[in-house]
Structure 1
Amino acid sequence: MSRRDGQTPPPDPDPWLTAGEVAELLRVSPATVYRLVDARELQSKRIRRSVRIRRSWVTAYLRANQVTELPVTPPDGQPRPPPGARDHRHVGQGPGLA
């Protein structure tokens, strides 16, 4: 969009996004975005039959719903090997293998 003086306005620092654009940012389907909007978990503005969401509202949603991975310690207190690591504790042990 250009102004009457022929110059292009600066980009909006907090642009309005469509549900599809938000879905791409969140790596979810547009249906999930609409569910978040309907549940009022994600702030939005309805303009006639469409939904628009500020980028800052998406950022606020992500901050409020950030999940941090906690280390899991099994009941025996021994740390678990990382996923995909082979467990060699039992190799060569057992009856008749010592």
Structure 2
Amino acid sequence: MNPTVVIIARWVALPGKAADVAHWLEHAVKAARQEPGCLRYQVHHGLDNANLFVLYEEYVDAAAHQTHISSTAFQQIVLGQIVPLLAERQVDRLQAE
């Protein structure tokens, strides 16, 4: 059995763009949660920094995560709409040992 793949993404919106990021994230979450290999896709919004978003994603395996980042929704929503609104973007890929 392949270990699940966990993604922890830390995004910081450009000043004045947090509401736009949150808007597009609603669409990204809906699409990701419909993918068969997605076990969890949870967005957290900063309490002390309104521009901070942390995403916790879990996929059944690396292939499922690859399917996610290759999807039309990811390409159009995350890369096309959200990334241009970010000042910072860090993505860590992890797996259980």
TM-score by length of 2: 0.26
Higher percent of residues as helix? 2
Task: Give the number of the structure with larger relative contact order, counting CA–CA contacts within 8 Å between residues 6 or more apart.
Answer: 2
Higher percent of residues as strand? 2
TM-score by length of 1: 0.26
